[in-house]
Structure 1
């Protein structure tokens, strides 16, 4: 009967990438409660007030974006799924975006006072530059085509988060806030898979478009990316000018914007490469994981109890 409800059958896979992604995401499952953030308090107290302010605000911004992803960003992709397994993968992604958003609150509750936390969320929910990128992406989620929605998701996962990720990676490269950075590295690893997977699904649909529509879509993608990058420039100046980090942050952003385009199967827009990124930040990404959990001896990078070292290549999930 046409109206029968269909049970999902993981023994009959239509797209091997769905199964590979499910296995990748489930093997790297984690929770913020496994990371002893209080061990970073001594480092936190050595930061200047300006440095603390930047940390707080970037995590406020990241909380906003992960909230958008968990509440709207995945749900809008589901009507255009190609397989039942794809929906299962998206369910996993949606849950982990909620874990990411919660993780920042765990950081706040460790490092900040209740008054400071209230101020962080007040700033996050009302800053025009930060709100612009959230609203710009959400506008596409609510009114765009299925392919445009995938592009917006990849831009968020692979590009827009990185103006915030720069800060904890910078401090990790200077041997500070390692437990905070552990959470960020776990989030980075998730986002790498999310962006690559959704980019792959975009490419399947893009390849089915007539040549003329492909060119129109490319034009829209590059125009949207540049608009978002211009806003990220403003956001980076707002956050980082007082620390003198802005130029380095913008290089990092352009590098990751190119990676977002590559996830979509498109050519890079900017000349920046990994070699141009501040080596301290790249070192922060590639530093091996640590064991900080006193009870289970599990630190970041655990694969269901199995600790492994993470290198920069771990963030470039390759379906091939």
Structure 2
């Protein structure tokens, strides 16, 4: 039992980045209930069964990964905080990961029947590639070192989510499922901050290691990425072969794997750049906020802070 508790003092900071990140995240606060998803039903009804299945499965996968992050990831990272303020930031991130997971259920309840929703979750719980990456990340959270846990978190936030994000961004770029796309843009903006912040905290710890320890950890990082990418490649084929998007999705994944490495302070592994990514998908990311009905339901324009279009630089917010 503790005999002394220290009150958190936001007027005395050990790391200014904690406060900057807290302010960024609270400015971006949002809830799925404010997005009029039912407005996407006319688009959804025009989709064929194959495209509907792709949408359903990618959101099932995203739900699982956000569940891992909210239930296991942030709890794990909180055991190794450097400052009291870092715990507050991680609490915020944990809550928003739960918001993300709930948002996918809101999409399901709007677009799918109860039986279809059941089938989606059955698929999510039995897909071997999806379960592999969820278990791989969760095992690191449970048994890894503090720095290994941060690597797992950044790889999840900045890389593994993106096989799922491709689909709604693709349709958003084609002016379809615009409100679903609004939710994904909000999630993307959160994840860009999460990945950059946790990557920054990783770099602080990594720079305290000696040269031999750094070399050993760096080898582990790249081995993990190779393993995850190998699995992600198989997962992507299973998701996208039927619609012919596989190669474009893989380029998007490699581009974001490089972004994850950059968040950790390391060099890119893959040759892919933004020029290799489908411009329609990048346009989906970059589209400025949509304003819906001002008096009732709104898109991401209702946020407390100023909303700006996302750009390539937004993957690294300059913490």
TM-score range (shorter-chain normalised) is over 0.9
CA 1:245–1:313 in 2, change beyond 3 Å: closer, same or farther? Answer: closer
After TM superposition, the runs of 4+ consecutive aligned structure 1 residues lying more than 6 A away are none
Deviations 1:187-246 (CA, angstroms, capped at 9, x unpaired)? 000000000000000000000001001000000000000100000000000000000000
CA contact (8 A) 2:36 2:297 kept: no
CA distance in 2, matches of 1:95, 1:289: 23
State the Cα distance separating 1:313 from its structure 2 match.
4.4
Identify the residue that residue 318 of structure 1 maps to in structure 2: 317
Identify the residue that residue 281 of structure 1 maps to in structure 2: 281
CA contact (8 A) 1:188 1:315 kept: no
CA contact (8 A) 2:259 2:315 kept: no
CA distance in 1, matches of 2:89, 2:282: 29
Point out where structure 2 has 5 or more consecutive residues left out of the alignment: none
Q: Secondary structure at the match of 1:285?
A: helix
Deviations 1:241-276 (CA, angstroms, capped at 9, x unpaired)? 000000000000000000000000000000000111
State the Cα distance separating 1:66 from its structure 2 match.
0.2
CA distance in 1, matches of 2:34, 2:12: 35
State TM-score, norm by structure 2: 0.97
Computed over aligned residues only, the root mean square deviation of the Cα atoms, in angstroms, reads 1.3
CA contact (8 A) 1:173 1:283 kept: yes
Question: Is 2:244 the counterpart of 1:244?
Answer: yes
CA contact (8 A) 2:34 2:297 kept: no
CA contact (8 A) 1:189 1:314 kept: no
Identify the residue that residue 19 of structure 1 maps to in structure 2: 19
Identify the residue that residue 108 of structure 1 maps to in structure 2: 108
CA contact (8 A) 1:36 1:293 kept: no
CA contact (8 A) 1:186 1:301 kept: no
CA distance in 1, matches of 2:40, 2:151: 36
CA distance in 1, matches of 2:40, 2:257: 31
CA 1:297–1:114 in 2, change beyond 3 Å: closer, same or farther? Answer: closer
Point out where structure 1 has 5 or more consecutive residues left out of the alignment: none
CA distance in 2, matches of 1:139, 1:167: 28
Alignment of 1:41-120 (within 5 A): 41-120=41-120
Deviations 1:115-144 (CA, angstroms, capped at 9, x unpaired)? 000000000011111100000001101110
CA 1:184–1:199 in 2, change beyond 3 Å: closer, same or farther? Answer: same
State the Cα distance separating 1:46 from its structure 2 match.
1.1
